[in-house]
Amino acid sequence: MNNLIAVKDGSVGFEHIVGDDSPAVVSWRPEFGSGWVETQSGLKYSWSDGVPERAVDSDARRTKLAAKRAFDLVVGTLAILGLLPLLVLVAVGIKLTSKGPVFFRQAREGINGSTFNALKFRSMRIDDCDNSGIAQTTKDDPRVTAIGRFLRRTSIDELPQLINVLRGEMSIVGPRPHVSGMRAGGMAYRDLVPYYDRRLDMLPGITGWAQANGLRGSTHDATVARRRIDHDIAYIQNFSLLLDLKIIWLTLRNEFLSGSGH
């Protein structure tokens, strides 16, 4: 849904509503200068010279980042310990039902463009695994194993990324890590969204504001792809432990509990 809006510097742009439970309003308006939009959930998505502003380094932001890291370590450790029986059961199930390793490792882009190996439970036949990640999985993809379909539907295949969190390569909440050269809407993400790299200003997450609002899985629609990046930028500008808790709850409700994963 698009609405005409006025922003702080007097220019005019268009807003679109993102989110269901507590929607945020963000703008796709790279042609404008500086300004901001007050979101329905209280978030501000700010622009400068036609691109989203980068967060200013400050004592307050460093404190928030330190608290976020402490939260990641505590939650990540407790989650691995609490889910250990499930993790072992899944690992055994994978080994018994298909040949190949339990884990699938794939190079992803991390904070500031660094590269790391994201871990997942293997959900595809080993001969059909796409290490590049550019060939996105589709509905009823024949490459996916029987147990893999369950793991992907419940998002259990993502749980090994808790190890990435403890290593400091990922956060519990943040923009999802993409492979290099990720495509959406029939073109490279970086060509589709000029400020795409702004999403690399923070550690990638197991889940994020976009995923909590139903924007996950393969992306063939350019508008949906842009909305996903808008959500990532809105989160980076406004992250907090309270927002992280909300995103975790929405993810558990929408994906793990309802089985509506990727």
Question: 171 or 37, which is more confident?
Answer: 171
For residue 199, give Cα distances in angstroms to 105, 113, 159, 232. 22, 10, 22, 6
Q: Could you read off the pLDDT of 43-63 as tens digits, one per residue?
A: 567 777 777 788 778 899 999
Calculate mean pLDDT across residues 129-139.
58
Question: 133 or 1, which is more confident?
Answer: 133
pLDDT of res. 43:
56
Q: Where are the domains of the chain?
A: 1-53, 59-262
Calculate mean pLDDT across residues 109-125.
95
| Residue 178 to residue 169: CA distance in whole angstroms | 13
Q: How does the average pLDDT of the chain come out, rounded?
A: 80
| Residue 261 to residue 255: CA distance in whole angstroms | 5
Contact between 170 and 204 under an 8 Å Cβ cutoff? The reply is yes
pLDDT of res. 132:
54
CA angle 37, 41, 45 (to 5 degrees): 30
SS3 67: helix
SS (H, E, C) 220-236: CCHHHHHHHHHHHHHHH
CA torsion angle 68 253 262 122 (round to 10): 70
pLDDT of res. 88:
97
Whether this prediction's pTM lies above 0.75 is answered by yes
Pairing of the two strands 171-173 and 205-207: parallel
pLDDT of res. 13:
38
For residue 142, give Cα distances in angstroms to 135, 146, 217. 13, 10, 16
Least confident of 15-24, 76-85, 92-101, 165-174: 15-24
The number of angstroms, rounded, from the C-alpha of 164 to the middle of its chain's C-alpha atoms is 14
| Residue 193 to residue 230: CA distance in whole angstroms | 9
Band of residue 42 on the pLDDT scale cut at 50, 70, 90: very low
Q: Could you read off the pLDDT of 157-216 as tens digits, one per residue?
A: 999 999 999 999 999 999 999 999 888 878 888 988 888 999 999 999 999 998 888 887
| pLDDT higher than 50, residue 79 | yes
Question: 209 or 82, which is more confident?
Answer: 82
